[in-house]
């Protein structure tokens, strides 16, 4: 009787293993697509040295400078409130963008978002800095960016102090878009 119980337990274990393997192989392609799409979205298709210029999605980008600050000042030399966490640095990337005729421009300009990247795979999104001496977005009702006219914009990021030596440059367009992604190094 003991041999029969052990034989039955072995067969049940084998059936469970085969069932688990079949579920894994059936479900794996569906789970893998999201991961692969996420990695593809993070992939950089092109690297441009010395600030460019480079045209991406109808917008010509030229990175003029990338500087790190402990805080930002407005025109009156007062600190801009950015809610900088402890141990973080403010990185300002100044760029000139020029949209061609294919870019959709409404009454307030066009979208020119970017991400900051380092050599360890980290990415940071832009932060708003109201009162900064340069526009921080190309959509600005007071001073909208126009087609075929160079527009100077500052992209502001909050990064850990330890990441500053590893910064590479900005990535356009940001990760929300999966077409061509270009890293522009200053």
The mean per-residue pLDDT over the stretch 147-161 comes to 92
Which tokens is 47 given? 């690297």
**Same structural domain, 85 and 137:** yes
Closest CA to 111 of 123, 127, 101, 99: 99
Mean pLDDT of 83-88: 88
92 and 14 share one domain: no
| Same domain flag for 52 and 38 | no
57 and 36, same domain (yes or no): no
Q: What digits encode the pLDDT tens for the residues 31-61?
A: 655 555 555 556 777 888 998 899 888 889 9
33 and 64 share one domain: no
Q: What number is the average pLDDT over the span 79-106?
A: 88
Bigger pLDDT: 169 vs 147: 169
Q: 137-165: string of b/e by CB count within 10 Å (b at 16+)?
A: bbbeeeebbebeeebebbbbbbbeeebee
Can you tell me the distance from the alpha carbon of 17 to that of 112, in angstroms, rounded to the nearest whole number? 52
> How many domains is the chain partitioned into structurally?
2
Average pLDDT over the chain, rounded to an integer: 83
Q: What is the pLDDT of residue 56?
A: 86
Q: What's the pLDDT at 159?
A: 95
Question: Are 38 and 62 in a shared domain?
Answer: no
Shared domain for 61 and 151, answered yes or no, is yes
Please indicate, yes or no, whether residues 34 and 64 belong to a single structural domain of this protein: no
Residue recorded with tokens 């003029």: 64
Which residues span the domain enclosing 4? Answer: 1-42
CATH of the domain at 156: 2.60.40.1240
| Integer Cα distance of 40 and 181 in angstroms | 10
Same domain, 38 and 50: no
Same-domain check for residues 70 and 25:
no
Could you read off the pLDDT of 98-133 as tens digits, one per residue?
Answer: 989 888 877 777 888 899 999 888 999 998 888 888
Same domain, 17 and 69: no
**DSSP run (H or E) holding 15:** helix 2-42
Instruction: Let me know whether 69 and 154 are in one domain.
Output: yes
**Is the model more confident about 174 or about 38?**
174
Structure-block tokens of residue 26: 């059936």
Residue 166 confidence (pLDDT) above 70: yes
């Amino acid at each position: 009787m003991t041999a029969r119980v052990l034989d039955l337990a072995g067969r049940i274990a084998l059936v469970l293993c085969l069932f688990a393997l079949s579920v894994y192989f059936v479900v794996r392609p569906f789970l893998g697509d999201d991961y692969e799409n996420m990695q593809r979205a993070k992939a950089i298709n092109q690297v441009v040295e010395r600030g460019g210029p480079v045209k991406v999605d109808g917008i010509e980008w030229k990175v003029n400078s990338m500087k790190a600050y402990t805080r930002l000042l407005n025109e009156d030399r007062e600190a801009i409130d950015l809610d900088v966490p402890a141990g973080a640095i403010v990185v300002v990337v100044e760029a000139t963008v020029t949209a061609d005729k294919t870019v959709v421009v409404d009454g307030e300009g066009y979208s020119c978002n970017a991400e900051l990247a380092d050599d360890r795979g980290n990415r940071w999104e832009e932060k708003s800095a109201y009162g900064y001496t340069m526009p921080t977005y190309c959509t600005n009702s007071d001073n909208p960016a126009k087609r075929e006219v160079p527009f100077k914009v500052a992209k502001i990021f909050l990064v850990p102090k330890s990441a500053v030596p590893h910064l590479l440059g900005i990535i356009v367009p940001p990760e929300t878009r999966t077409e061509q992604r270009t890293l522009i190094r200053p």
